[in-house]
Structure 1
Amino acid sequence: MDIINEILSSNILPYVLLGYAISILVVVIMIVLENRNPLKTISWVLVLLLLPGLGFILYIFFGQNFRKEKIIARKGLRNHHRLNNLAYSQISQLTHGSLGDNETARQPTGIVRLLLNNSSSLVTTGNEVTFLNNGKDKFEALLRELKNARHFIHLEYYIFAEDRIGNEVKKILKEKASRGVEVRLIVDDVGSWELKRSFFEEMRNAGVEVYSFLQVRFPLLTSKVNYRNHRKIVVIDGHIGFIGGYNIADRYKEGDAKTYGIWRDTHIMIQGDAVNSLQSIFLTDWYFVSRTELTDPKYFPASQPVSNKVMQIVPSGPDSDWPAIMMGIFHTITSARDYLYIATPYFLPSESVLFALKTAALSGVDVRIIIPEKSDAFITLLCSRSYIREMLEAGVQIYFYQKGFLHAKTVVADDKISIVGSANMDFRSFEQNFEATAFIYDKGAAQEMKATFFKDQSDSEIILLPEWIDRPYIEKVKESFARLFSPLL
Structure 2
Amino acid sequence: MDQLTQIIAVLGVFLYWLILGAVATRIVIKRRSIGVSFSWLLIIYFLPFVGVFAYMLFGELHLGKARSSRSKAMYEPYGKWFSTLYSHNSHQPDKQSDYAASISKLCDSQLNIPSLTSNELELQHTPEQILHAIINDINHAKTTINMEFYIWHPGGLADEVAKALISAANRGVKVNLLLDAAGSRQFFKSEWPKAMKKSDINVVQALIVSPIRMFFRRMDLRLHRKIVVIDNHIGYTGSMNLVDPKYFKQGDGVGEWIDMMVRITGPVVPVINTVSAWDWEVETNERLLPAFPDKAQCTDTSSLVQAIPSGPGMPEEVIHQVLLQSLYQAQKKIVITTPYFVPSEQLLDALVTASLRGVEVNIIIPRRNDSTMVKWASSSFFSELLAANVNIYQFNDGLLHTKSVLIDDEHCLIGTVNMDMRSLWLNFELTLAVDDIKFATKLKGLLQTYMDNSDRLSHDEWQKRPMYRRVIEQVFYLFSPLL
TM-score (norm 1): 0.90
> Aligned-pair distance for 1:226?
2.7
SS in 1 for 2:287: coil
Tell me, what secondary structure is at the counterpart of 2:72? coil
Structure 2 residue corresponding to 1:229, chosen from 202, 223, 226 = 223
> Does structure 2 retain, via aligned residues, the 8 Å contact 1:74–1:284?
no
Contact 2:368 2:399 in 1 (8 A): yes
- Contact 1:189–1:214 at 8 Å: present in 2 too? yes
Q: Does residue 1:36 correspond to 2:32, yes or no?
A: yes
1:13-48 CA distances to partner (integer Å, 9 max, x unpaired)?
343333322222221111112222221111011111
Q: CA 1:274/1:251 → structure 2, altered by over 3 Å: closer, same or farther?
A: same
Instruction: Work out whether 1:415 is the aligned partner of 2:393.
Output: no
Post-superposition offset of 1:470:
1.2
Q: Match for residue 3 of structure 1?
A: none
Matched, 1:390 2:384: yes
1:231-282, CA deviations, whole angstroms, 9 ceiling, x for partnerless residues?
Answer: 0011011111100111112327777386112321121111111111111101
Kept in 1, the 8 Å contact 2:144–2:231? The answer is yes
**Aligned pair partner of 1:122 in 114, 119, 134:** 114
- The residue type equivalent to 1:358 in the other structure is V
Pair 394,58 (structure 1): closer, same or farther in 2 beyond 3 Å:
same
User: Structure 2: how far apart are the matches of 1:318 and 1:364?
Assistant: 37
3-state secondary structure, aligned to 1:170: helix
Q: TM-score, normalised by structure 2?
A: 0.91
Identify the match of residue 190 of structure 1 among 182, 187, 195: 182
Change (3 A) 1:140 1:278: same
User: 1: CA distance between counterparts of 2:340 and 2:99?
Assistant: 30
Using the TM superposition, give the Cα deviation of residue 461 of structure 1 relative to its aligned residue in structure 2, in angstroms. 0.7
Matched, 1:175 2:174: no
Q: 367-376 or 313-322: which moved more?
A: 313-322
CA distance in 2, matches of 1:129, 1:163: 28
Confirm or deny: 8 A CA contact 2:365 2:395 kept in the other structure: yes
Q: Which runs of 5+ in 2 are unaligned?
A: none
C-alpha distance in 1 between matches for 2:75 and 2:413: 30
Q: Separation in 2 of the partners of 1:371 and 1:232? A: 21
2:482 aligned partner = 488
Displacement of 1:400 in angstroms is 0.8
Query: CA 1:251–1:215 in 2, change beyond 3 Å: closer, same or farther?
Result: same
Query: How much is the aligned-residue C-alpha RMSD, in angstroms?
Result: 2.6
Task: Choose 14-23 or 363-372, whichever is displaced more.
Answer: 14-23
What CA deviation, in whole Å up to 9, does each residue of 1:446-485 have, x standing for no partner? 1111111111111111111111111101001111101111
Q: Corresponding residue for 1:202?
A: 195
> Which deviates the most, 120-129 or 39-48?
120-129
In the alignment, what sits opposite 2:374?
380
Q: Which residue of 1 aligns with 2:365?
A: 371
Number of matched residues?
475
2:335, 2:407 within 8 Å by CA — same for their partners in 1? Answer: yes
Q: Which of 213, 228, 245 does residue 239 from structure 2 map onto?
A: 245
Say yes or no: does 1:49 pair with 2:48: no
Q: Distance in 1 between matches of 2:60 and 2:91?
A: 41
CA–CA separation in structure 2 for the residues paired with 1:184 and 1:114: 32
Find the counterpart in structure 1 of residue 262 from structure 2: 268
| Alignment check: 8 A CA contact 2:181 2:205 kept | yes
Moved more, 60-69 or 478-487: 60-69
- What secondary structure does 1:224 align onto? coil
Query: Shift in Å at residue 335 of structure 1?
Result: 0.2
Other structure's SS at 2:114 match:
coil
Q: Secondary structure at the match of 1:108?
A: helix
Which residue of 130, 141, 144 corresponds with 2:133? 141
* Shift of residue 150, structure 1, vs aligned partner: 1.1
- CA 1:453 to 1:469, structure 2 compared with 1: closer, same or farther past 3 Å? same
1:91-106 aligned within 5 A: 100=92, 103-104=95-96
Residue in structure 2 matched with residue 156 of structure 1 by the alignment: 148
Q: Distance in 1 between matches of 2:241 and 2:98?
A: 34
Shift of 1:163: 2.9
Cα displacement string for residues 131-150 of structure 1 (whole angstroms, at most 9, x for unaligned residues): 11121211111111111111
3-state SS in 2 of match to 1:399: strand
Give the 3 Å change call, closer, same or farther, for CA 14–378 of structure 1 in structure 2.
Answer: same
Matching residue of 1:15: 11
Q: Quick one: distance in 2 between partners of 1:99 and 1:263? A: 36
Between 167-176 and 191-200, report the one with greater CA deviation: 191-200
Partner of 2:308: 314
Q: 1:101 to 1:331 in 2, by over 3 A?
A: closer
Partner residue, 1:219 = 212
Contact 1:135 1:252 in 2 (8 A): no
Report the counterpart of residue 430 of structure 1 in structure 2.
424
Deviation at 1:348, TM superposition (A): 0.9
Is residue 440 from structure 1 mapped to residue 434 from structure 2 by the alignment? yes
Residue 65 of structure 1 and its aligned partner are, at CA, apart by 3.2
Shift of 1:313: 1.2
